Amino acid sequence: MTTAQAPAVRPTPILLDCDPGHDDAIAIVMAHRSPAIDLVGVTVTCGNAEIDKTVSNALRVLQFIGAADVPVAAGCRRPLARPLVLGAADGPSGLEGSPYLPAATKAVEPLHAVDFLAETLRKAPEPLRIVATGPLCNLGLFVLKYRQLLSKIKDITWMGGVFYRKSEIITPTEFNASCDPEALRLVLDSGVPLTAVGLDVTMQVLVESPQYAEFGKIDTALGRVVVDWLKFYERLHRTSMGVGGALHDPLALALIVDPTLVRTRPAHIAVDLSGSFTLGATVADFWNERGMPPNANIATEVDADRFFDLLYNLLRD
């Protein structure tokens, strides 16, 4: 008698576009460690720090976790239409709190991130999924340069925007959106399916004492680095809002492994391109008052406990 075997599930190939950044770094770690994901490339943008630093951080993290074979391509030095305003949470290097990460010997790809994306998408047998955890400079430029390849992107899961302010710890604008709002508009108008995981949802996955206790049990070099990152990363949140660090980018990445961690609703997102205090604000039309077709699925709720369980499991050996 032969036993029927469940077909092996192929890991999902993804490209990660990021600006590491502590929470981006944790997303890189998760992508590499998850058996459900095949990390085919990392493209880097400016954002949490200048491009040279975010690229160096991506290389160092990948090398540290034994993923030096994952190609890294450097992208935009500045937003498409504005000067660069850096993120504030991650310190001058973009990854403060990890001085003992080795300097990378791994080299960056010779192609600009946008051209690397094009080449990788062209070669891929099927459309690829992209997770974006930074300002959308690279993807906006890709839309302008390679419109003919948009059909090779299956979808984009993006950490960014803010859609529903439920409390005073949710700011009216979000960094990834307001850093390069023109790029965001290009991506939203591109027709590529987009899931937006906004600040109002990611501010519900906070690292507080119970989470530190769980991370503390992961007694490995990687577990210790992650705790060190989190301790630096939470400073801004702790002093300005009185809460722990929010795992914005890891939540977006986690949706590739388990999309049921969040509920989503389709809506049209408009981006404020002229505001002074609201530049880059993302205004979601959940009731279709604008009469525009939805251009995104927007995360509205998250199961934080299940997200943290997934993260602890990925970090354990």
> What pairing do the DSSP bridges indicate for beta strands 245-246 and 206-207?
antiparallel
The H or E element containing residue 154 is strand 153-159
CB of 179 to ligand BDR, least distance (A): 8
180 forms part of the interface with Ca ion (CB under 5 A)? no
Piece in contact with ligand BDR (CB under 6 A), picked from 6-14, 19-27, 95-103, 217-225: 19-27
Q: Residue 50's binding partner, choosing from Ca ion, ligand BDR, none, with beta-carbon cut-off 5 to 8 A by kind?
A: none
Instruction: Report the distance separating Cα 63 and Cα 32, nearest Å.
Output: 11
Residues 6+ away with beta carbon under 8 Å from 228: 97, 98
Which of 283, 315, 224, 232 is CA-nearest to residue 48? 232
Instruction: Report the distance separating Cα 148 and Cα 157, nearest Å.
Output: 20
Q: Residue 45's binding partner, choosing from Ca ion, ligand BDR, none, with beta-carbon cut-off 5 to 8 A by kind?
A: none
CB of 249 to ligand BDR, least distance (A): 5
Q: Which of residues 40-99 bind ligand BDR (CB under 6 A)?
A: 48, 87, 89
Residue 22 catalytic? Answer: no
- 165 C-beta neighbours (distance < 10 Å), count: 13
Number of residues assigned to the chain: 317
175 forms part of the interface with ligand BDR (CB under 6 A)? yes
* Assigned token pair, 259: 């999309």
Q: Residue 57's binding partner, choosing from ligand BDR, Ca ion, none, with beta-carbon cut-off 5 to 8 A by kind?
A: none
272 forms part of the interface with Ca ion (CB under 5 A)? no
234 forms part of the interface with ligand BDR (CB under 6 A)? no
Q: Residue 175's binding partner, choosing from Ca ion, ligand BDR, none, with beta-carbon cut-off 5 to 8 A by kind?
A: ligand BDR
Instruction: Report the distance separating Cα 257 and Cα 6, nearest Å.
Output: 19
CB of 50 to ligand BDR, least distance (A): 14
Which residues on adjacent β-strands are paired with residue 44? 18, 74
CB of 237 to ligand BDR, least distance (A): 11
180 forms part of the interface with ligand BDR (CB under 6 A)? no
Catalytic residues: 248
